[in-house]
Amino acid sequence: MPRVILMEYVNLGRSGLSVSRLCLGTMNFGPITAEEDAFPIMDRAHELGINFFDTADTYGWHAGWGLTEEIVGRWFAQGGGRRDKTVIATKLYASQTDWPNDGRLSALHIRRACDASLRRLQTDHIDIYQAHHVDRDTPFEEFWEAMEVLRQQGKILYVGSSNFAGWHIAKAQETAKRRGTFGLVSEQSHYNLVYRAVELEVLPACQDYGLGVIPWSPLAGGLLGGILRKIDKGRTADERVTKELAKHRDKIERYEAFCDELGQDPALVALAWLLKQPGVTGPIIGPRTLDQLDGTAKALEVDLDDKALAGLDEIFPGHRTAPEDYAW
């Protein structure tokens, strides 16, 4: 068995909920990783001390809507304390059909989507129920009333957001404050060395309102995972990654050379950098195999000093909190 990695834990935002600094993303379970391979990955995550799992009702995609939640649910059903040891986060928003109210964040859809996720996950409650996207057509008063009902019923414990702008977070939190409720506890955002736009307003809003930040796509879709080395060894990239690489090739070349100087794997450096960013709870890792899980977990052992962090900022310049980034 691979050596044990000492997991770190932090409170999720201003809450008292303790979660691991790496979050196991399950999006590959079903479409890419077969169920019989996903089970050992989740078991190994627990062995590594990872107690924070993320999924969504949409995951499964072409293989079947909700399939990923079903796989996680069947894993929970094996017992052995699997559910009790897991902080499970799932998401709602997208529509499976064109039928009215089958999607978005109306009170009706929130109720139906939660019940459906509970059935698929084979659990009586969801620890963190997240809006996968902001719904510009539903007022936050309705959103919060629906979430409060679910919490009173014991079906959810905390509420999170994903892909919200800074002003959406502010509006959500101020509405919750007027209602006397806890509000959002976390925000899932697209955040990595290549894409740092959330530093302008989303991260400051999260820090001010006490939301934990959970970065998704921490390796920028593979750009930060040693892609040039893999291509040199004969690996091929899909069309999307190829286009992104063309836009950022100079920076990626410098990045991989910098990682060589550090003596570290590029993927681990990218994850370790996120773990150093203020307000970040932990990035979502999405392993397809056990080896990938064991490999990415080693990011906790990579200690980037101030010189290394400055070098990464030089390659991938970040943003100052608005408005200083675009004004005096």
Q: Give 217-247 pLDDT, tens digit per residue.
A: 999 999 999 999 999 998 888 899 999 999 9
Buried b (16+ CB within 10 A) or exposed e, 248-286: beebbeebbebbeebebbbbbbbbbbbbebebbbbbbbb
Q: What is the largest CA-CA distance in the chain?
A: 58
Taking the domain 9-222+266-305, which CATH number applies?
3.20.20.100
Using DSSP, state whether 132 is helix, strand or coil: coil
Using left for φ > 0, alpha for ψ between -120 and 50, and beta otherwise, residue 264 falls in: beta
CA-to-CA distance for 188 and 169, rounded, in angstroms?
11
Q: One-letter amino acid identity for 174?
A: E
- Structure-block tokens of residue 196: 């740092």
- pLDDT of res. 272: 98
Residue numbers in the chain where pLDDT is lower than 70:
1-4
- pLDDT of res. 3: 58
Say if CB 126 and CB 155 are below 8 A apart. Answer: yes
Strand ranges inside the chain, DSSP E: 9-11, 18-20, 23-25, 52-54, 87-92, 126-131, 156-162, 184-190, 212-216, 284-285
Would you list the DSSP string of 6-60?
Answer: ---EEESTTSS-EEESSEEE-TTBTTTB-HHHHHHHHHHHHHTT--EEE--TTTT
User: What is the chain's percent helix, strand, coil content, to nearest 5?
Assistant: 45, 15, 40
Would you list the DSSP string of 82-117?
Answer: TTTT-EEEEEE---SSSSTTSSTT-HHHHHHHHHHH
CA-to-CA distance for 302 and 304, rounded, in angstroms?
6
Using DSSP, state whether 71 is helix, strand or coil: helix
Buried b (16+ CB within 10 A) or exposed e, 292-304: bbbbbbbbbebeb
CA-to-CA distance for 210 and 129, rounded, in angstroms?
17
Residues shown for the chain: 328
Q: What are the residue boundaries of the structural domains of the chain, listed by start?
A: 9-222+266-305
- pLDDT of res. 4: 65
Stated pTM of the model: 0.97
Give me the active site residues, please.
59
Instruction: For strands 9-11 and 18-20, give the pairing.
Output: antiparallel
Q: Give 119-164 pLDDT, tens digit per residue.
A: 999 999 999 999 999 999 999 999 999 999 999 999 999 999 999 9
CA-to-CA distance for 302 and 325, rounded, in angstroms?
30
